[in-house]
Amino acid sequence: MEYFFQQLINGITLGSVYALIALGYTMVYGIIQLINFAHGEFFAAGGYVGVIFMSYLLSQGAPAWVCLSGSLILAMAYCAMLAMAVEKVAYKPLRSSSRLSVLLSALGMSIFLQNGLMLTQGVYDRAYPTELTQGGFEFGTVMLSYMQLFIVSLTAFLLVALNFLVFKTRIGKAMRSTAQDKIMSALVGINSNRIISLTFAIGAGLAAAAGIMVGLYYGSVRYDMGFVPGIKAFAAAVLGGIGNITGAMIGGFIIGMVEIFAAGYISGEYKDVFAFLILIGVLYFRPSGIMGENVDDTRV
Amino acid sequence: MKRSIMTALLVSAILMLSAGMVFAKTLKVGTMGPLTGPYAADGNDIKNGVLTAVEVVKANGGIPGFDDIEVMPQDTACEPRQAVATANKLINEEANGVVGAYCSSATLPASEVLDEESIIMITPASTNEKVTSRGLPYMFRMCGRDDDQGFIALKFMQEKLGAKSVYIVDDKTAYSQGLADGVEKMCEAAGIKVLGHEHVNQGDKDFSAILTKVKTSNPDVFYMSMQNSATGALMLIQAKRMGIKAARLAQDAVYHPQLMEIAKDAAEDVYLTFGYIDNNAPAYKEFYAKYQPKHGEPGAYSGYAYDSAMAYFKAVKAAGATDPEKVKAELMKLDYDGATKHIKFKPNGDSGSNYIIRKVENGKFINYWNPATGKLY
């Protein structure tokens, strides 16, 4: 039983990370029907901005909470701006062309950003400070580290904040209406370009937060770290119903849990197999994903 | 009269120039290793080791008969297909010799291609048995072999740790899984209980599920066979957080300064099998003095790459030519103390294994246990 609880804690932690990244995919897809392949790179960039700033703050003798929140805010802001720039350069000019060209542009952007990170930051792993991540609670043999607690609670906070933003504020309303019908919402006075830009920014900000948490929790970042979690989070977004925010959260937690439990009870070799089997299974019976609505393509 | 002198001078000048051009020869050495991707650190170590060797040779007057030594670094990315492509590229660019590659899975196919063109290849780092067991005439190896390495790991578990049980984790490459499978077989034969043998994927960061398994089965030894030191470091951090008490034993690919840089105190007291290097040997000191200021602390295989290149240069110098048969004959004759080990090639191209147990202590690798004597250093 203790084994089960330990794996449950592991699963929730991993799931939180996937959920945060998946949100970016799903929000961008929801608003302009683009699968933003460069999204994993925002995650990696966030991890790097975090480690650079955090090491600086620590060397200046700043207390732990200043280091954490300071680098978190800076990384999120940086990645939000990066995402807006990417959107302006690579996606906006192609908005009226076919969806395939935007998709290719996204793939290209992903390669460009990853290599940019490699050239500027080097090919070696960059270590995160470990001073902040020591310790935890012990319940018998079950360990709950402070870091896991931090990841899960920060994710929960960000998810609640995002839900509030999207469903309770004017900006959220504008986002939802732009997702439904760009032309109509423009007619009622919504600046859809600004809303799209903002969506990119929020998604990338969440990915940056995930990047910092991954760096802190696992201990290091590397320029190509965005690729694998990017794919997993994309799968999570599709599983939950791409375009649906609640779905992306649920999808992220499911993929994380399935991976951990498959590795814990069957074999580590096959954990990805099971994660993607679940995906295929769900899509077979519910092609639009768990929370996805059946929307016809004429809407766009 | 005046004009004819001028013409004669001009003609002779042109002749001399062109003669100079004909005799100006460059020795071309290719390096192969992953310069991008997850193992880029190790590929760059190899490249830097070779560059250091060139620097040393040039400072000592170069190689007679050659005006210059050109290094052609190639990126294999540790992928078999790209390794073959880079081997072909080196052939087209008329490389005389090659130092590389890093991953066994890259060295194996690349060496087939290079051998067809009779190009000498010295691998500083590929430990898989097959590298030299295929009978390729121009394939040499500066490092040890995995069957020897696995045996030393077993010997250490039995004799020093007195282990009764082991849990093995590898990350599924030709090298890491090959080694782990070998260790598993040897442990079973020697009566050490293998409580589990798990595999993780390339690019994974989260090992919590598997480490929970390790912790629950409570082995005496936790054996990690990772292709990459950074991955090993991440696993050690999580193992410490999880509270795994088993002795942790890793292998040569985890042996890299990166391990302590990332894992910090989680890497303390980790044991590793690695070739014996005498840090106080004059040849090693010479290498270190040249390498460290430019490229930082030497990686696991920087020294072996340096020795591979030096051995090749010595052989070319002795042969006075790049003809592969002559160079091979000279390589076979080599018998000297290199930076990392005593260099004397066996007929199959191996230069012998000298694995010992090292340990991380206060953030540094130290020589720990000598399997030949069964004593601590």
pLDDT in tens, B244-285: 999 999 999 999 888 998 998 999 999 999 999 888 999 999
Cβ atoms < 10 Å from Cβ of B187: 24
Q: Which residues contact A246 (CB under 8 A, 6 or more apart)?
A: A163, A240, A291
**Tokens 């592969």 appear where?**
B324
Residue-wise pLDDT tens digits, B110-138: 999 999 999 999 999 999 989 999 999 99
Task: Say what the pLDDT of residue B18 is.
Answer: 53
Residue A263: inside a domain, yes or no? no
Task: Say what the pLDDT of residue B125 is.
Answer: 94
Does the pLDDT value for residue A81 go beyond 50? yes
User: A59: which 2 tokens?
Assistant: 């060397």
Contact yes or no for A271 and B209 at CB 8 A: yes
Q: Which residues contact B248 (CB under 8 A, 6 or more apart)?
A: B221, B222, B224, B236, B239, B269, B270, B271
Does the pLDDT value for residue A300 go beyond 50? no
Domain-wise residue ranges, chain B: 27-143+301-345, 147-274+356-376
Residue A7: inside a domain, yes or no? no
Does the pLDDT value for residue A223 go beyond 70? yes
Which one, of A193, A169, A158, lies nearest residue A31 by Cα? Answer: A193
What is B27-143+301-345's CATH topology?
Rossmann fold (3.40.50)
pLDDT band at A130 (very low <50, low <70, confident <90, very high): confident
The CATH number corresponding to B147-274+356-376 among 2.30.40.10, 3.90.226.10, 3.40.50.2300, 3.30.56.10 equals 3.40.50.2300
Task: Say what the pLDDT of residue A279 is.
Answer: 86
Residues of chain B with a CB closer than 8 angstroms to some CB in chain A: 35-38, 40-41, 44, 169, 172, 198-201, 203-206, 208-210, 212-213, 215-216, 230, 233-234, 237-238, 241-243, 258, 261-266
Contact, A221 vs A115, CB < 8 A?
Answer: no
Residue A176: inside a domain, yes or no? yes
- Please compute the mean of the pLDDT values over residues A199-218 and round it to a whole number: 93
Spatial separation of the C-alpha atoms in residues B174 and B368, rounded to whole Å: 28
Residue A161: inside a domain, yes or no? yes
- Please compute the mean of the pLDDT values over residues B324-352 and round it to a whole number: 94
Task: Say what the pLDDT of residue A135 is.
Answer: 80
Residue B377: CA atoms inside 13 Å, Cβ hemisphere, count? 14
**Tokens 């062309």 appear where?**
A97
Residue-wise pLDDT tens digits, A228-282: 899 999 999 999 998 888 899 999 999 999 999 999 998 888 888 888 898 888 8
- Please compute the mean of the pLDDT values over residues A37-59 and round it to a whole number: 94
Spatial separation of the C-alpha atoms in residues A184 and B374, rounded to whole Å: 81
Contact yes or no for B206 and A10 at CB 8 A: yes
Q: How many CB pairs under 8 A join A and B?
A: 103
Residue-wise pLDDT tens digits, B142-190: 999 999 999 999 999 999 999 999 999 999 888 899 999 999 999 999 9
For residue B26, give the H/E element and its range.
strand B26-33
Does the pLDDT value for residue A299 go beyond 50? no
Contact yes or no for A125 and B243 at CB 8 A: no
Residue A253: inside a domain, yes or no? no
Q: Is A267 left (phi over 0), alpha (psi -120 to 50) or beta?
A: beta
pLDDT band at B17 (very low <50, low <70, confident <90, very high): low
Strands B247-250 and B271-275 come out as parallel
Does the pLDDT value for residue A201 go beyond 60? yes
Cβ atoms < 10 Å from Cβ of B33: 35
Report yes or no on whether pTM surpasses 0.80.
yes
Write out the residue range of the structural domain in which residue A35 sits: 24-232
- Please compute the mean of the pLDDT values over residues A44-65 and round it to a whole number: 92
Spatial separation of the C-alpha atoms in residues A244 and A170, rounded to whole Å: 19
Identical fold, B27-143+301-345 and B147-274+356-376: yes
Q: A138 - beta bridge partners?
A: A143
To the nearest whole percent, how much of chain B has pLDDT over 70? 94
b/e map A174-188, b = 16+ CB within 10 Å: bbebbbeebeebeee
Residue A205: inside a domain, yes or no? yes
Q: Is A293 left (phi over 0), alpha (psi -120 to 50) or beta?
A: beta
Residue A69: inside a domain, yes or no? yes
Contact yes or no for B241 and A267 at CB 8 A: no
Contact, B195 vs B167, CB < 8 A?
Answer: yes
Structural domain tally of chain A?
1
Q: Mean pLDDT for chain A? A: 90
CA distance B210 to chain A (A): 6
Contact yes or no for B213 and A264 at CB 8 A: yes
Contact yes or no for B198 and A130 at CB 8 A: no
Residue A200: inside a domain, yes or no? yes
